[in-house]
Structure formats: C-alpha cells, structure tokens
Amino acid sequence: MRLARDVCVLALALSACAAPDPNATTPLDGPDRASFDSVQAFLDHRCGTLDCHGTRYRNLRLWGHDGMRLAFGDVPGASPTTTAEVDASYAAVVGLEPEIMNAVVADHGANPERLTLVRKARGTEKHAGGAIVSVGDVRDVCITSWLSGATDETACAAALVYP
C-alpha cells in the first residue's frame, strides 16, 4: 500500500517536471486579417504614436504612418501605412495572447476583456496611456466588433476623429 502510494507520488512528480514539447505550437485562429485594416488605422492613430506603442520598447508594437515604420527609408508621418505594416501590427495584436485571442474569437467576441489589449484600452488594467476607450464608444466598438468577426467599419472611421 505504502509502496503504491510512493510510486504514484513519484510518477506525479516526474510528470510535473517533464520538459515541454519543443515542437508544440498554438494554432493561431485570430480574428479576420482582411477586416483589420480599419482597426489598424485607428490603432495606428491613437495607440501607435512614437511615444506609445509605436516603439520597439513595448510588448505590443504597432507600425504605420503615425508611428514606427517597418521599412528603412520610411519616416513617421510621411508615406501612407503599407500592407506589410498592417500585417506586422496584426501579428503583434493577435500574437500578444494567442490562446486567449483564440478563445475570444471562438466565442464570437464574447467577454473581450479577457484580453489584456481590451483591459488596457479600457483602463481597467494599469495602462501608462490611461483609458483610451470607454465601453460602447466608437473606439471600443471598433476593436470589439473586429474580435466578434464583424468589424464595424463605421465605428472605426468615426474612431479616427473621435471625439
């Protein structure tokens, strides 16, 4: 009896210490890339300036016209945002918390505050830039509608000039 118990404890301990599978991957089923353009335009404008997320010193890095540029030779505030910059910003946003992003997308955008992206933007989690959006305003809707799979293009367009 005692031996069996010890073997179980040992087995549990060994399984807890097992090395992670080096080939394990998390499939990325993020929200739609095609409808991210308008969301990116808003994020670039409001969050992606050089003194905020348009810098290599942030975990969430955004690229585009209003901030950090992807290609050498492009300058902030000059040429329009490139497709490569939208791709890079998409990868940054979706890849920040891939497992949670997958879950939110699978739930059609329900409970988006599971994402740090949304909590920080809403100011419900400490954010150096403060609260950027309020629940239900056009800026919030721009992001959360994209997470739900039906980007509200009107909200995103309004978010660019809000308030």
Partner 1 sequence: MVERRVMGLRIASVALAALATTCTLDPVQSEAVADLGGEAPGVAPGPLHRPGQPCLVCHDGSTAQPAMSVGGTVYGVVGSASALSGASVELTAENGATFEATTNAAGNFYVEASAWQPVYPLRVAVAFGGLTSTMSTIIGRDGSCAACHVDPPSRISAGRVYLAPSAALLPDAGAP
Judged by CB under 8 A, does residue 45 bind partner 1? yes
Binding piece for partner 1, criterion CB under 8 A, among 31-39, 66-74, 106-114, 116-124: 66-74
Alpha-carbon distances of 90 from 8, 101, 150, rounded to whole Å: 46, 12, 16
Q: Using CB under 8 A, which of 5, 72, 80, 136 touches partner 1?
A: 72
Helix/strand/coil (H, E, C) string of 28-77? CCCCCCHHHHHHHHHHHHHCCECCCCCCCCCCCCCCCCCECCCCCCCCCC
Q: How far is the CB of 90 from partner 1 (least distance, A)?
A: 19
Judged by CB under 8 A, does residue 84 bind partner 1? no
Judged by CB under 8 A, does residue 76 bind partner 1? yes
**DSSP category for residue 84:** H
Judged by CB under 8 A, does residue 2 bind partner 1? no
Of 30 and 140, which CB lies nearer to partner 1 in the complex structure?
A: 140
